[in-house]
Amino acid sequence: MKKKILTTFFLLIFNLNLYADENNQSIRIGLLAPLTGAYSELGDSLLYSMQLALEEINDENVIIVPRDSGFNEKDKLNKAINEIKSNNVKVVIGPLTNEEFEIAEKHNDLLFISPSNINSKFSNNIISIGISLESQLLALINFIKKQKKIKQLLCILKINI
């Protein structure tokens, strides 16, 4: 997941100059993540990944605006989005789940890039870039067929969150 966030972040930086603040040419990118609660470890991981990406590109004009959106907490998410908007942010990484898309769609003046891997969705203001397990397994099966492999071993790691 960290590679996906880093790749997305790099693409954002190099392609979103039009979202730069006209006065000082800074790019402000919001992050909606569960920074408290049961899923805070996931939120911290996303925040650290973005900070690592910022350090890698070494551009002081890119500013991360993180906000605690909880996990499937509509009121908290709505408050976090409004706080991000008040910080002159135009691009937001998040929300994390497709159940929260309904709230994000109401804020059509922002562009949301969601790492959700369920129900890939492209709407006026939401891009879901997640990769589902099903699409990964189908790609793996196609690769195995192309390689004409007869024996395969598939290991699946179960992570409880």
> Once rounded to an integer, what is the mean pLDDT over residues 38-61?
87
Query: Is 154 a member of any domain?
Result: no
Residue 141 in domain: no
Domain membership of residue 152 (yes or no) is no
User: Nearest to residue 9, comparing CAs of 71, 76, 66, 86?
Assistant: 66
Confirm whether 39 is domain-assigned. yes
User: Is 44 within a domain?
Assistant: yes
Residue 34 lies in a domain: yes
Tell me: pLDDT of 151 over 70.
no
Q: Which residue has the higher pLDDT, 40 or 10?
A: 40
Enclosing domain of residue 110: 2-132
Residue environment code for 92-127, b if the CB has 16+ CB neighbours within 10 A, otherwise e:
bbbbbbbebbebbeebeebbbbbbbbeeeeeeebbe
Identify which has the larger pLDDT, 5 or 94: 94
What's the CATH code of the domain at 37?
Answer: 3.40.50.2300
Residue 149 lies in a domain: no
Please name the residues in contact with 139: beta carbons below 8 A apart, sequence gap of 6 or more.
none
Tell me how long the chain is: 161
Domains contained in the chain, number: 1
In a domain, 158, yes or no: no
Residue 17: predicted pLDDT:
46
Tell me: pLDDT of 41 over 80.
yes
